């Protein structure tokens, strides 16, 4: 069995609804796709991330699945 890490948002969702957390890792295809508003919020978040990369070009991006944050 592979290690599955939780993001902050997934952890919060799990605290709100254990069934949703289970589905995210075991039956993701059964979950509803985000609506127009939710997708717009996700897209806005990606835009903020892109702007942050331009503002801090020497910054270090943490890739998905990274659990060792001792990068100094």
- Between residues 43 and 63, the one the model is more confident about: 43
Domain ranges of the chain: 8-55
pLDDT tens, position by position, 2-44: 667 777 878 888 888 999 889 888 888 888 888 999 999 989 9
Of the candidates 50, 52, 60, 45, the one whose C-alpha atom is nearest the C-alpha of residue 8 is 45
In Å, how far are 3, 7, 8, 36, 37 from 15, measured between CA atoms?
20, 12, 11, 25, 23
Q: With contact defined as beta carbons under 8 Å apart, do 24 and 31 qualify?
A: yes
């Amino acid at each position: 069995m592979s290690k599955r890490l939780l993001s902050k948002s997934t952890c919060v969702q799990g605290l709100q609804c254990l069934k949703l957390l289970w589905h995210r890792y075991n039956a993701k295809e059964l979950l509803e796709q985000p609506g127009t508003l939710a997708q717009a919020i996700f897209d806005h978040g990606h835009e903020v991330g892109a702007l942050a990369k331009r503002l801090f070009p020497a910054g270090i991006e943490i890739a998905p699945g990274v659990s060792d944050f001792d990068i100094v």
